[in-house]
Structure 1
Amino acid sequence: MIVFRILHKKYGDPLFAPGIEGRWNSYGKKVLYCSESIPLAFMESMIRRQGVGFNSDFQIAHIEIPDSIPITEIQVKDLDKGWDNSYDYSKCQRLANPWYEAGKSLALKVPSAALSICSNYVINTLHPDFSEVKLLKITPLMPDPRIDELLKKAK
């Protein structure tokens, strides 16, 4: 399976996870957030950027998770009301942190808070199977300039 990540060139290694807290991980848990498609990865990145535009310094990482590696899944029906709250990640972390700590699977398939009919993948970079994850390529991100203008107006 191929998953996608939008990142700034200055952050170097697209497979590096600094352990910053996110919706599906508490601080210190080293995970990569990826999306099932480039458009979803782009939408997720737009939301996180909060009005700061894109430029030629952004790129798309194409990452392969071997099909033979099992993936754990959390579905929308498994989530408490308010799981997609923009300011409180605790409901998602309560489900994902035990997955991370148990280490039973490399990746966790989760609904996107931005568009819950789509999926993101949280990859545990400390899992033994992480060595099987491959960066296939990096491609430039060249969004329509009108998107940048919309982001700037949204501030």
Structure 2
Amino acid sequence: MKIYRIANRRHAKNITGAGASFYPGRWNNIGTPVLYTGESIEIALLEILVHIPALLVPELDVLILEIPENSIKEIKINDLPSNWNQFPAPTILSEVGQQWVENNQSLAMKVPSSIIESAFIFVLNCDHKRYSEVKIIDHHKFSFDSRLRKS
């Protein structure tokens, strides 16, 4: 299965989850190496844009990754608390993610995007025994349209 990641060019090829382990995320605690990806390049872009200051346009790259389809746990919207898509994220979500990582339940966790509920992101457990099966199948420069970042 193909999934997408857009990242700062300096760190794009680093898929160890080290970056996420330094910062708490919606689905992870500090110290937990996970990789956030999207089901499409569009949702991957939106997921990174919400974290970039308005006037900053970093050099970004696109990674297309391939993961095995038989190691994905899906969390449906109906299984989440009503405030799941709020910012900042409710701590229950990082607790769910932490438990998922610690129990080694699957390589990937498919969850709804907090930006567009009908779209999905995939959180990859970088410590999972099958993480070596994650392959970078394409890596290229992302051409950023400056109209996306009007002040």
TM-score, with structure 2 as normaliser: 0.91
Matched with 1:17 is 17
Structure 2, unaligned runs of 5 or more? none
Tell me, in whole angstroms, the C-alpha distance in 1 between the residues paired with 2:90 and 2:140.
31
Q: Write the deviation string for residues 62-106 of structure 1: whole angstroms up to 9, x where unpaired.
A: 110023x32101111101121111113412112221111100210
Letter in 2 for 1:136: I
Q: 1:128 to 1:116 in 2, by over 3 A?
A: same
Q: 1:28 to 1:64 in 2, by over 3 A?
A: same
| 2:65 counterpart of 1:66 | no
Q: 1:41 to 1:26 in 2, by over 3 A?
A: same
SS in 2 for 1:3: strand
Asked whether the 8 Å contact 1:66–1:132 carries over to 2, the reply is yes
Asked whether the 8 Å contact 2:5–2:44 carries over to 1, the reply is yes
Q: Which moved more, 1:100-109 or 1:13-22?
A: 13-22
Tell me, in whole angstroms, the C-alpha distance in 1 between the residues paired with 2:102 and 2:16.
19
SS in 2 for 1:49: coil
Q: 1:38 to 1:12 in 2, by over 3 A?
A: closer
* % identical equivalent positions: 29
Deviation at 1:54?
Answer: 2.5
Letter in 1 for 2:36: Y
Deviation at 1:12?
Answer: 4.9
Q: Write the deviation string for residues 27-72 of structure 1: whole angstroms up to 9, x where unpaired.
A: 11110000000011011111111314335x21111110023x3210
Structure 1, unaligned runs of 5 or more? none
1:2-41 to 2 correspondence within 5 Å?
2-18=2-18, 19=21, 20-41=23-44
TM-score, with structure 1 as normaliser: 0.89
1:1-155 to 2 correspondence within 5 Å?
1-18=1-18, 19=21, 20-55=23-58, 57-67=59-69, 69-148=70-149, 150=150, 153=151
Deviation at 1:9?
Answer: 1.3
Q: Write the deviation string for residues 89-129 of structure 1: whole angstroms up to 9, x where unpaired.
A: 41211222111110021010000000011000000011000
Q: Which moved more, 1:32-41 or 1:11-20?
A: 11-20
RMSD: 1.4
Tell me, in whole angstroms, the C-alpha distance in 2 between the residues paired with 1:118 and 1:93.
19
Tell me, in whole angstroms, the C-alpha distance in 2 between the residues paired with 1:132 and 1:141.
25
